[in-house]
Amino acid sequence: MTDATAPASGETLTFGQTLQSSDFVGLGVKNGLLNMVTLGIYSFWAKTATRRRIWERVSLNGDAFRYTGKGLELFLGFLLGLVVLLVPYLVVVGLTVYKPAFVFLMIPLYIAFIVALGAAVFMAFRYVAGRTRWRDIRFQLKGSPAKFGWSYLGYFLLCCVTLGWFSPAMTMRLSGKLWGNLAYGDKTLEWRRSDKEGLYGPFTLAWLVGVAGYVGLIALMVQAMPTGGGRTPDLALIGKLYAYLLAYIVVVTLASAAYYAAVIRAVIGSIHIDQARFSIKLKAVELIVLSLTNTLILIFTLGFLLPVVEARSARFVLSRLSSTGTVDLSGVRQARRGSGNDEGLADAFGVSTF
């Protein structure tokens, strides 16, 4: 029997959302207070509650998404991830203190950390996918965290060798390894890189502004450093240094907005499922306004209204997201349930996830 909600001929995909900032103010206050009382331990349950509320206010073809993750899963995963990171580090540091010749072990340790960071990004994405349901079918991310981690290391080294110029290629290739392996049930999405969005034009502007500003920052730091003879630091120069640093961050952020907007358009434009493809109408100015207002909200509320910021960001993307073409979802089968510890390593690294 054919499911009436998913015709065999296929259906177009239309996103909807009922996200209102006011619906997340109380949740933000509650999360913030409980985080203070528990010294941050409640943050895992706070993240879960925020996701659950956002997910249930987002729909596709009239059917809401559902988030089934649990705070305890995130907390236990974090503890496990912390052990994975701390034990090797403490062992190497201990060996180095015992015998300085062991300092060479720092190199493979840092390499392992970069690989682990890449794997953490993959696993966090996999966790959120596996805990997301639509029409009671869960998503899943196929592939290997280890392979993704080694790819991350290779791309990272290429970025270092090319002084950052490989960064756009790294972003798109890693995005392809994530979105191209994402599946709704057993139906896998496809990654077809679109050449419509050129990334190196806006990246060049951001890179040049960043490098020029960095050179100026180094010059000011050298001037502010005290010289020999017990000379005290020049407080006026130090003040100029901090002012310059603030201005540098603002200018680089503004110069990078066009690049990040192009990356978002390129990533979304490369995602396909059957004959359906996605696109987003997004301008750099809009991204700047969102980032600025979200930053001000976090600053003036001391971070209490983080759920409001996350809801605003989700609404921002979804209100600009559209799809063309059709997809046949009539024969989709359930995906297996993933591990509950997947996001822990990312949390241990302090990597921000959805």
Cα–Cα distances in Å, from 274 out to 62, 126, 195, 281? 20, 22, 20, 22
Q: What is the mean pLDDT of each run of 10 residues along the chain (354 residues)?
A: 51 95 96 96 96 96 95 92 89 84 86 94 94 95 95 97 96 96 94 84 94 85 65 70 86 93 95 94 95 95 96 96 93 85 81 69
pTM for this entry: 0.89
pLDDT score for 349: 79
Q: What are the structural domain ranges in the chain?
A: 194-263
pLDDT score for 8: 47
Q: Are strands 15-17 and 58-60 parallel, antiparallel or unpaired?
A: antiparallel
Interatomic CA distance for residues 338 and 332, integer angstroms: 18
The values of phi and psi at residue 17, to 5°, are -155, 145
pLDDT score for 122: 95
pLDDT score for 95: 84
DSSP letter assigned to residue 343: T
